[in-house]
């Protein structure tokens, strides 16, 4: 089995727990309890939304995915900052809301578009000396983290509530921490802040309204699988019986026609996906082979 699944992750379970459930579903369906399953980017336990999953040999295609833009809807809660930068943490600082907090919010949001410098939160999946930061944080440890530059393509203020809660939508590049963004927005306003609810509405070609719940995937596992060609924008070529056998064996083969792109998906005469090839003039060399 080779493909991707657009899973809706509810708030509560970890991304690893969702992957484990998918592994059981497809292990039973494909009669392969060792089937490979992996996500294309973790989502915090308290967050909900799109969690793209690679199933079977599609896990080998993950490195071929180009940078995936993300879109989130979040609540920015003003008046309190926390140890985890979200609603689950202990209070670090609190303050009364000034009367002009809405005006301050509207004035500072444009500062957070474009290239933004962020420090990864302690409660994140970044590695430090062989451990995840969140593992160190749960041990009560804090370590120095290197700042990184991320890209925020847009921030839209969707609405505000009288108790200092604002709803925002963020379009951003990979590696952006929305919780850190919320805290930084509050700091720019001069008000402690943290992230409340978070929903990932999109991750590259995976969008929220097409996502399936675990129960929906379990009821029809095959229908939930998206072909790699629909996710990675490589064209597909079809090789004849002999050429596909050579390709599977890792040998360079002649292109049946001119190369439509530098990299292509390769299917055999029965339309089975056999790998990814790289064009070199009139020849095609195997880059990924699914034996």
Which phi and psi angles does 67 have, rounded to 5°? Answer: -55, 130
* pLDDT per position as a tens digit, 71-95: 999 999 999 999 889 998 889 999 9
Domains of the chain in sequence order: 2-64+208-230 (3.30.2350.10), 70-203 (3.30.2350.10), 236-289 (2.30.130.10)
Are the CB atoms for 48 and 11 separated by under 8 Å? Answer: yes
Active-site residue list:
44
Per cent of the chain over pLDDT 90 is 73
Model pLDDT, residue 260 = 79
Instruction: Estimate the share of the chain in helix, then strand, then coil, as percent rounded to the nearest 5.
Output: 25, 35, 35
Report pTM: 0.88
> What does the alpha-carbon distance between residue 59 and residue 56 come to, in Å, rounded to a whole number?
6
* pLDDT per position as a tens digit, 260-285: 788 999 999 899 999 999 998 889 99
Per cent of the chain over pLDDT 70 is 91
pLDDT higher than threshold 90 for residue 289: yes
Q: Residue range 103-117: average pLDDT?
A: 95
- Give the pairing type, strands 148-161 and 131-132: unpaired
Kind and range of the H or E run holding 116? strand 114-118
Q: Residue range 183-188: average pLDDT?
A: 96
Question: Where do we find the tokens 């939930």?
Answer: 224
């Amino acid at each position: 089995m080779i493909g991707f699944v657009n899973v809706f992750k509810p708030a509560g379970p970890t991304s690893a727990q969702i992957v484990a459930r998918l592994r059981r579903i497809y292990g039973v369906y494909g009669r392969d309890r060792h089937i490979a399953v992996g996500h294309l980017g973790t989502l915090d336990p308290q967050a909900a939304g799109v969690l793209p999953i690679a199933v079977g040999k599609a896990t080998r295609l993950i490195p071929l995915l180009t940078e995936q833009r993300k879109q989130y809807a979040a609540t920015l809660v003003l008046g309190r900052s926390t140890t985890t930068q979200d609603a689950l943490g202990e209070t670090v600082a609190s303050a009364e809301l000034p009367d002009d907090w809405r005006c301050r919010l509207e004035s500072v949001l444009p500062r957070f578009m474009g290239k933004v410098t962020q420090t990864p939160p302690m409660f994140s999946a970044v590695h430090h000396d062989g451990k995840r930061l969140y593992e160190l944080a749960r041990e009560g440890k804090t370590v120095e983290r290197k700042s990184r530059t991320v890209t925020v393509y847009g921030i839209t203020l969707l609405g505000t509530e009288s108790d200092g809660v604002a709803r925002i939508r963020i379009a951003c590049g990979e590696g952006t921490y929305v919780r850190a963004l919320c805290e930084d927005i509050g700091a720019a306003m001069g008000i402690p802040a943290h992230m409340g609810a978070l929903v990932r509405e999109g991750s590259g070609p995976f969008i929220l309204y097409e996502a399936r719940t675990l129960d929906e995937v379990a009821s029809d596992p095959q229908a939930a699988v998206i072909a790699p060609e629909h996710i990675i924008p490589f064209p597909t070529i079809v090789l004849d019986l002999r050429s596909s056998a050579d390709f599977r064996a890792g040998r360079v083969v002649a292109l049946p026609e001119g190369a439509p792109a530098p990299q292509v998906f390769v299917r055999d005469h029965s339309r089975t996906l056999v790998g990814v090839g790289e064009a070199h003039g009139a020849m095609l060399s195997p880059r990924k082979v699914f034996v």
